Structure 1
Amino acid sequence: MTETTPYDQARDQFSRSALARLVLCDRAVRLAETAGNLAVTRYDAYTALGGRVSEALSLVRLAERLLVGAVIYERERGSSWEDIARYLDMDSAAAEERFTPEIDRWNTAFVVPYHVDETGRKRIPQLPTAAYDPKDACRRLDLWAHLRLIVEDKRAVSAGLRVSFPTDDTADPSLRDIGGWIWQRNLAAFMELLSRYVDSDFDETDMDRLALGLEATDDEDPDGWFAYPLIGSTASLEVRLANSVGSDVLSVVVAGAWSAALRLRIDTLMSALSADAQP
């Protein structure tokens, strides 16, 4: 596979330091969200013995990944190993030895951005998700900062990045699009809940029509997506879907969610229906 994808074109508009910063932002948000879950006590009675230790350990591992992301970003922005080592309580040689394998993986991913799966059809990105699809990362992280941190700046994350396309979603409506994936088995639940969010009717007939439209789709083909309109009394959405050939995954893009609160609900729903392990 030598042809470029829309992800490649979007990534080319970011500096490498901006991509590294987005990865750092994304890992910081994941750590914050996971830590927040551990703070809740309401469901402690339903947690297996030792379960909170497992959750705490996951935070430690996320923090380690966050540290790696910070080092990669600092190297991309020109920090020396001496600059970095000063905050790690080690000498520069030890810092370089510890983090060079991660730096090498990061650099290699720009030279060989994809591996191809056993079918020979599906690309497997080698970059972290936020660097692979920076346009979506900007949208998602800006929304998180605006709603969760309650900041007035709607571009709190993307505003400081070096990019060559407008990140103001009034200039580019596609920045409001919510993209991701879900397991195929969760499609009905996804559409039913999405229809409730906009007060739209969605029944078995609609599901049959959607299933039929999906049969010949391929998310690697820009023209191989199926668009389904979801017209509700509170909002009108366009749901674009395509099969990820060779897997049990559906790629999804939801357009038309002009409300920040609605975008957050859709983003959360998509995350929930892609997070569970396969049976």
Structure 2
Amino acid sequence: MTTPNSHDSRSALARLVLADRARGLSGAAGNLALARHGGAGGRAGEVATLGAYAERLLTSAVVHERERGSSWAEIGRYLGVGAEEAERRFGAAAAEWSEDASGRVERDLDLWADVRLGVGDKRVDGGDPQVEGRIDRSWLATFLDLLAYYVRHFPADGAWEDLARRLDEPGEWHAYTMDGIFESLDLRLIREQDLFCVRVTNAHTADLRLRVSTLLEAFGAR
């Protein structure tokens, strides 16, 4: 079993941040095409800002590669530098991520809620609107909170606690419908010892399937 403190889950979190920052850079670059009235030299300033976005994106990519198990030599080869130079440039950021990742999910849910992911992830891009996986039972409420945010579902007070009580009955599937502003999801859950098997259906957009898939990966068990 893994938890959000595990290596696999840290890698999933790093991947989520990488996707978020990639989208941020894309959006910032797109703004250059808009007609704006600004002071002299304003466009140059906007392009310079893109450099800062790109540097943050590159750092996130390196952190993700380190969490995937890539060596400094492997990373450096793609950057055209040696292992020592790659570690000198990005080692502090990678170390900070590794030390901080154990509390990242619990402390910084806004990071998850604010991501806006693209639709090009081949793992989930397709016609099947169902995503399934297993999560550790201690992270059920966090998983449901984030899923509800994605579809703008506003649960009744105590809804998660009531669902958790029903899930204490082993061997039975339990259903919950998230009626949201953007989409409505149907959830089916069943308890297996300290895990919950989760099936999420009606996730019709690739964007939403990617978000659900990433949550299941980060909070999941293998």
TM-score scaled by structure 1? 0.43
Aligned-partner Cα distance in 2 for 1:112–1:152: 30
Match of 1:74 in 2: 65
**CA separation of 1:24/1:128 partners in 2, compared to 1, >3 Å: closer, same or farther?**
farther
Note the alpha carbon deviations across 1:169-190, whole angstroms, 9 max, x for none.
xxx79625249xxxxxxxxxxx
Aligned-partner Cα distance in 2 for 1:238–1:112: 26
**CA separation of 1:110/1:100 partners in 2, compared to 1, >3 Å: closer, same or farther?**
same
Q: CA RMSD in A?
A: 4.2
The Cα of 1:239 is off from its aligned counterpart by 9.7
Match of 1:63 in 2: 54
Q: Does 1:256 align with 2:180?
A: yes
**CA separation of 1:97/1:145 partners in 2, compared to 1, >3 Å: closer, same or farther?**
same
Contact 2:17 2:60 in 1 (8 A): yes
Q: Does 1:164 align with 2:155?
A: no
Match of 2:116 in 1: 141
Higher relative contact order (CA 8 A, sep 6+): 2
Note the alpha carbon deviations across 1:218-270, whole angstroms, 9 max, x for none.
xxxxxxxxxxxxxxxxxx97599xxxxxxxxxxxxxx721349xxx9xxxxxx
The one-letter code of the counterpart of 1:145 is V
Aligned-partner Cα distance in 2 for 1:27–1:59: 12
**CA separation of 1:239/1:173 partners in 2, compared to 1, >3 Å: closer, same or farther?**
closer
Match of 1:232 in 2: none
**CA separation of 1:153/1:94 partners in 2, compared to 1, >3 Å: closer, same or farther?**
same
* Other structure's SS at 2:78 match: coil
**CA separation of 1:256/1:63 partners in 2, compared to 1, >3 Å: closer, same or farther?**
same
Match of 1:175 in 2: 147
The one-letter code of the counterpart of 2:49 is S
The Cα of 1:88 is off from its aligned counterpart by 1.1
Out of 77, 83, 91, which is 1:92 matched to?
83
Match of 2:96 in 1: 105
Q: Does 1:26 align with 2:17?
A: no
Instruction: Give 5+ residue unaligned stretches, structure 2.
Output: 137-143, 157-178, 185-206, 208-222
Contact 2:21 2:57 in 1 (8 A): yes
Contact 1:176 1:258 in 2 (8 A): no
Contact 2:59 2:90 in 1 (8 A): yes
The Cα of 1:69 is off from its aligned counterpart by 0.4
Aligned-partner Cα distance in 2 for 1:63–1:154: 33
> How many residues get paired?
148
The Cα of 1:91 is off from its aligned counterpart by 0.7
Aligned-partner Cα distance in 2 for 1:12–1:90: 31
Aligned-pair identity (%): 35
- Give the 5 Å matches for 1:194-205: none
The Cα of 1:111 is off from its aligned counterpart by 5.2
Contact 1:23 1:69 in 2 (8 A): yes
The one-letter code of the counterpart of 1:19 is L
**CA separation of 1:58/1:110 partners in 2, compared to 1, >3 Å: closer, same or farther?**
same
The Cα of 1:112 is off from its aligned counterpart by 6.2
**CA separation of 1:177/1:111 partners in 2, compared to 1, >3 Å: closer, same or farther?**
closer
